[in-house]
Amino acid sequence: MKTIKISFVLIVFTIITALGLKNTLDGYKIGDNATNFSLKNIDNKMVSMSNYPDAKGFIIIFTCNTCPYSVAYEDRIIALDKKYKEKGYPVIAINPNNPAVKKGDDFSNMQKRAKDKGFTFPYLFDDGQKIYPQYGATRTPHVFLLNKENENLLVEYIGAIDNNSQDADEVTEKYVENAVEALLSGKKPTLKTTKAIGCSIKK
Amino acid sequence: MRKILVILSLFIAFSSCNLKIISQEKVVVEKLANVKINFIDYDDLELLLNKNNNKTYVINFWATWCKPCVDELPAFEELYKNYKSKNVEVILVSLDLKKQVETRLIPFIQKHKLQPKVVLMVDPDQNTWIPKVSSEWSGAIPATIIYNKNRRKFFEQSFTYNELENELTNIIKTK
């Protein structure tokens, strides 16, 4: 009888663990409550979303130094931050790559890239790669738009920045801007998820 | 609708002053190194993904900047070599940036002497065409489709040669 009880407990435990793992692997869906983080910025200070008591939400962008798609979007990420920081939705960029695999994405190269390009937003290092799997980022760049509701940070949009990674002048749909504008006018974004080609995250 | 946006034919040569002193023999070698890349949009890709003949198609989405893609290319080259006389076509759909074709893609093809056909997907509206390729695809590469008129399978993963050959033979076997 005791054996049966133990086996039962073990089975339940295994199922719960498996479900938990699955959730982590799948990442966030629209409406999920996103985790806060405390990660090192390029100025060596730790940055967390609680540092922004006045923010209405955040444009979290997983990006890096080395991916050509990320590089192609750098100016557009700066423009997003400039446009929406004052309106309550600052950009926070996070480099999820393992620098042991991709040397060009190490901390000193992040500092250099941010300085060269004049990043106006924090550029954080996901040390130990603990944050990006919780969000479910699969590529760079990958945007998660969060909206503060009470004490929660609800995921309102997941995907690409706009519909033309290759050429900013040819963009006909600005996904992130449209989503932020919707939130600013008290609505939910109409387009909640988009897919795009990007560089896989280096584990 | 068959619409090839641009057919780029690039003759890789030294600067014009070097060309003047180039020997006859050297010119022949340069011509052999001629690389043609077809630029395709979603209409072209759709045709490529839905051929209804007796061949089996192995379509790999890759880019020169994608390390796991580059790492698995030898497997696709070997598959191409071993199956080109067995009714199998291997096509490498590059997702490199259009403006890096001359600076990165063509030099890469030459350096690695890539034998399978390479086409460049230039359709910018990825959110529209990625789900049409496969509803399972997140957009991460490498990604591969193996299909013939009877069966189709999509993979968002890297392959070793054995894994790739295994999947190919499974699909060829299915009637």
Provide the pLDDT for residue A14.
54
Provide the pLDDT for residue B170.
95
A140-179 burial: b if 16+ Cβ within 10 Å, else e: bbbbbbbbbeeeebbbbbbbbbbbbbbeeeebeebbbbeb
* B140 contacts A200? CB cut-off 8 A: yes
Interface residue of B127, B133, B135 to substitute, partner A, most A CBs within 10 Å: B127
Query: Could you tell me what percent of chain A has a pLDDT over 70?
Result: 88
The predicted model gives A95-124 an average pLDDT of 96
A92-107 burial: b if 16+ Cβ within 10 Å, else e: bbbbbbbbeebeebbe
Residue of B105, B3, B89 whose CA lies nearest to B49: B89
Across A132-136, A138-142, B24-28, B123-127, least confident range = B24-28
Provide the pLDDT for residue A102.
87
Question: Domain locations in chain B?
Answer: 39-173
* B130 contacts A68? CB cut-off 8 A: no
User: pLDDT for A21-53, tens place per residue?
Assistant: 444 457 999 999 999 999 999 999 999 999 999
Q: What is the ipTM for the molecules in this complex?
A: 0.72
The predicted model gives A58-64 an average pLDDT of 98
Tokens found for residue B6: 């641009």
Alpha carbon of A180: minimum distance to chain B alpha carbons (Å): 19
Task: Report residue A200's pLDDT band, with 50, 70 and 90 as the boundaries.
Answer: confident
The predicted model gives A173-201 an average pLDDT of 95
Q: Which residue of A has its CA nearest to B104?
A: A68
The predicted model gives A3-15 an average pLDDT of 58
pLDDT surpasses 90 at A199: no
Residue B65, chain A, CB below 8 Å: the answer is: yes
Using DSSP bridges, classify how beta strands A152-159 and A123-125 pair: parallel, antiparallel or unpaired. Answer: unpaired
Secondary structure (3-state) at A176: helix
Please give the CATH number for the structural domain made up of B39-173: 3.40.30.10
Task: Please write down the HEC assignment for all residues of chain B.
Answer: CCCCCCEEEECCCCCHHHHHCCCHHHHHHHHHCCEEEEEECHHHHHHHHCCCCCCEEEEEEECCCCHHHHHHHHHHHHHHHHHCCCCEEEEEEECCCHHHHHHHHHHHHHHCCCCCEEEEECCCCHHHHHHHHCCCCCCECCEEEEECCCCEEEECCCCCHHHHHHHHHHHHHCC
Chain B residues with CB under 8 Å of A96 CB are none
User: pLDDT for A183-193, tens place per residue?
Assistant: 999 999 999 99
Provide the pLDDT for residue B11.
38
Tokens found for residue A19: 């479900």
For each successive 10 residues of chain B (175 residues), what is the average pLDDT?
Answer: 42 36 39 74 95 96 92 97 97 93 93 94 92 91 95 95 97 83
Chain B residues with CB under 8 Å of A195 CB are 126-127, 130-131, 137-139
Question: Structural domains in chain A?
Answer: 29-200 (3.40.30.10)
Provide the pLDDT for residue A10.
57
Provide the pLDDT for residue A7.
64
